[in-house]
């Protein structure tokens, strides 16, 4: 395993940003490109591995992981998000996964964490279903990033309640990802502190998803909450002591 990623070229970053700007009206090109880019520079071995795609949505990453040779277990909480996704995907709660202890070699979790109300319970479940020595790749859009409010951006900088009220007064009801219902503030500093207390998971690396060479950002309190945009954590399941 290596956590040294090759950053995308400037041209690729520009292309991805253009797709991101069009994501609301046409999300599929952005997520297909992101899945291809993510799996193409993945820091863990995938071929022959049994991987949980936690928060799989319509399955863009599940397909990319499968194409790389992994056996994929696709799980999402929302049956609507599963529409058009993997035919064998399971609707389940990330806080109570229907998997046995040590069932998978790896957990892939892209942009799900901010949609679950209980971050500690999610990491507990990731640790439980991983084999000792297994890995987890977890990313999320941190709350104070420019896209942290999802639908209500930039009103999220007022906080989840005031920001939602301001959005409603000016634009009406959000299409989805309503703060307090389908979107919850998840901060980098508190998440790193949580993982330091999580005895079964070891943090191997943390970096901004879209510019991984700038790892220094994640090490600076305050700055990281705004500039990271999307944070990636690489985790290892600690081998239990004999």
User: Quick one: which of 123, 107, 114, 104 has its CA closest to 199?
Assistant: 123
Which residues, given as ranges, of the chain have pLDDT below 50? 1-11, 19, 21-22, 26, 242
228 domain residue, yes or no: yes
The DSSP bridge pattern shows strands 201-208 and 90-91 to be unpaired
pLDDT score for 80: 75
202 domain residue, yes or no: yes
pLDDT score for 25: 58
pLDDT score for 19: 44
29 domain residue, yes or no: no
Task: Region of 177 please: left (phi>0), alpha (psi -120 to 50) or beta.
Answer: left
| Domains in the chain, number | 1
Distance separating the N- and C-terminal Cα atoms of the chain? 24
33 domain residue, yes or no: no
67 domain residue, yes or no: yes
pLDDT score for 15: 56
Q: 55 phi and psi, to 5 degrees?
A: 85, 50
pLDDT score for 30: 64
193 domain residue, yes or no: yes
57 domain residue, yes or no: yes
Burial profile 101-112: b = 16 or more Cβ within 10 angstroms, e = fewer? eebbbbbbbbbb
The domain that holds 135 is classified in CATH as 3.40.50.150
pLDDT score for 24: 55
The whole domain housing 134 covers 47-142+186-237
pLDDT score for 78: 83
198 domain residue, yes or no: yes
């Amino acid at each position: 395993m290596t956590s040294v990623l090759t950053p995308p070229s400037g041209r690729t970053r520009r292309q991805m940003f253009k797709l991101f700007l069009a994501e609301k009206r046409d999300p599929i090109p952005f997520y297909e490109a992101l899945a291809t880019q993510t799996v193409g520079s993945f820091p863990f071995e995938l071929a022959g591995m049994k991987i949980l795609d936690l928060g799989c949505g319509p399955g863009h990453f599940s397909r990319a992981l499968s194409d790389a040779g992994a056996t994929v277990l696709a799980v999402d909480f929302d049956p609507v998000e599963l529409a058009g996704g993997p035919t064998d995907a399971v609707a389940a709660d990330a806080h109570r996964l229907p998997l046995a202890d040590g069932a998978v070699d790896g957990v892939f979790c892209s942009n799900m964490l901010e949609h679950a109300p209980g971050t500690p319970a999610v990491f507990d479940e990731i640790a439980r279903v991983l084999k000792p020595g297994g890995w987890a790749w977890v990313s999320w859009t941190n709350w104070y990033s420019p896209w942290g409010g999802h639908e209500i951006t930039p009103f999220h900088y007022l906080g989840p309640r005031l920001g939602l009220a301001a959005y409603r007064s000016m634009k009406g009801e959000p299409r989805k990802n309503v703060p307090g219902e389908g979107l919850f503030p998840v901060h980098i500093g508190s998440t790193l502190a949580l993982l330091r207390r999580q005895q079964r998971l070891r943090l191997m690396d943390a970096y901004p998803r879209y510019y991984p060479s700038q790892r220094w950002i994640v090490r600076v309190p305050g700055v990281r909450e705004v500039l990271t945009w999307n944070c990636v954590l690489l985790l290892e399941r600690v081998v239990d002591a004999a």
